[in-house]
Structure 1
Amino acid sequence: MKKIIYIISGAGQRSSLNFYKQMTNKASLTIACDSGIEIFKKINFPPNYLMGDFDSAKTEDILWAKENGTIILDFPKEKDEIDTELALIFLRKEKKKDVILSGVLGNRIDQELANIFLLAEYIDLNPIIFEEDIKIGVVNKKVTEEAIPEESWSILRIGEPVYGLTLKGFKYSLYKKNLDNFKSLGISNYAAENQVEISVDNGIVIYIRWINKRH
């Protein structure tokens, strides 16, 4: 079974505790970002690292992590990076890949957008955002993903213009489509097969898969 790097950040619990248990069991390295430690504590799984400026983590959760062998990396509150990015910077230095992030989708759209942008900035880590109901990833070449027919997907440009976007396995397929504006093309497509393929000749797109949510 392919091992992953698993990060839980502090945007709050979106999925069941069983989901987080399953993800940690697949991980070769685990990181809690600030109050993301609360979920690790709930499933009684001390992460390898706890990092952040600790403006939201509870003192008792930090002590629990420390008592159970977690390495604590404390950062100043005045900094340029959000806590999730600190973890990604650390993993890039360690030359890690296949990074899955949970706890990054909360009730602050600015934080959510920042975390989605980080997928593009750290695309070399092969990162995805993953919860029980949603999966968000980035494509700068080609990605093949499992799907469920009629499941809702959206594919959107992020950053510079996209050239040669091709979608296969979707109800609304595309072939070598250029996206040189920020119009809403790509919203609310849906899978037509059990596997979909997204590719671009140049540029970056994000895909948003609403797991088990029908069109």
Structure 2
Amino acid sequence: MYSNRRILLFSGGNLGDWAVTDIQADDVLVGIDRGALFLVRRGLPPHFALGDFDSVTAEELQEIKNSCPELDACDPIMKDLTDTEMGFFWALEHRPREIVMLGVLGTRFDHSLANVHLLRIALEQGIPCRIVDETNELLLIDRTVQLRKSRFSHVSLLPLTMDVTGITLTGFQYPLHKATLTIGQSLGISNVLVADMGTVEIDSGYLLVIQSRD
């Protein structure tokens, strides 16, 4: 039912009005824990809501239940996955055109980092996946990707494997040619896209591409 559509996951981290500006008519909205309340209160009831809902009150949970056609609540203790992981794997099962994760970055760095690691699972399954918040957009690549100049002024490259080899950049202020980045290096931080379109090429490894603004 949801294959070949975008699935947008709204989790309980940092969310704001910016998070709903890119919603398209055919998008599937998934509310994860407090992310479901965020959608309901903006008049955008999610197609599916899930989580342990330990971040909402009983009254707020009822508000979610009244608006959502499908809801799956689980025990907050007896589970092996975070709420965001559960939503992410639910999305993967439906083989969407793309997964966009919103509200998955926040004050809990452990959760934020774990959510970044989910990008690797999507990549290995051939499902395009991005993490977006107000000031950042993250994607993980293992091959050539083109980036369009956008509201994000900086582009940073960080290896998610020990080494990423053959990094070649075109259209950037600081070009690279067949470079290697190793975990711990800062060479890929704060580049600038000067052309309307830029290209990032790699030969091996997993490279985290972070577009950001101050």
TM-score bracket for the superposition, by shorter chain length: 0.7 to 0.9
Does residue 127 in structure 1 map to residue 129 in structure 2?
Answer: yes
CA contact (8 A) 1:149 1:194 kept: no
Q: Secondary structure at the match of 2:96?
A: coil
Q: Gaps spanning 5+ residues in structure 1: where?
A: none
Rate the CA distance shift 1:150–1:49 in 2: closer, same or farther, 3 A.
closer
Q: For the aligned residues, what is the CA RMSD?
A: 2.2
**1:93 CA drift (Å):** 1.5
Shift of 1:63: 1.9
With structure 1 as the length reference, what TM-score do the two structures score? Answer: 0.87
Matches for 1:1-12 after TM superposition, within 5 Å: 4-12=6-14
Per-residue Cα deviation, 1:110-163 (whole angstroms, up to 9, x for no partner): 111111111122223211011232211111112112115992111100124212
Partner of 2:117: 117
Q: 1:158 to 1:27 in 2, by over 3 A?
A: farther
Tell me the equivalent position of 2:211. Answer: 209
Q: How many Å separate the matches in 1 of 2:140 and 2:152?
A: 21
* Paired residues for 1:84-99 under 5 Å: 84-99=84-99
For structure 2, the residue ranges without an aligned partner over 5 or more in a row are none
Structure 1 distance, partners of 2:82, 2:36, is: 16
Tell whether the 8 Å contact from 2:6 to 2:96 is kept in structure 1 after alignment: no
Equivalent residue number for residue 34 of structure 2: 35
Distance across 2 between alignment mates of 1:41 and 1:205: 35
Which structure 2 residues correspond to residues 104-183 of structure 1 after superposition, within 5 A? Answer: 104-123=104-123, 124-148=126-150, 151-183=153-185
Residue in 1 aligned with 2:47?
Answer: 48
CA distance in 2, matches of 1:119, 1:31: 17
Equivalent position SS for 1:164: strand
C-alpha separation between the residues in 2 aligned to 1:27 and 1:110? 32
Report what 1:62 is aligned to.
61
For residues 50-81 of structure 1, the C-alpha deviation after alignment (integer angstroms, 9 at most, x for no partner) is: 11122213333332232224311122323222
SS of equivalent residue, structure 1 residue 24:
coil
- Counting aligned pairs with the same residue, the percent is 26
SS of structure 1 residue aligned to 2:23:
helix
Give distance in 2, aligned partners of 1:45 and 1:149.
Answer: 25
Quick check: which one's strand share is greater? 1
Task: Report what 1:199 is aligned to.
Answer: 201
| Number of equivalences | 208
Q: Is the 8 A contact 2:135 2:152 kept in 1?
A: no
1 CA distance for matches of 2:134 and 2:182? Answer: 32
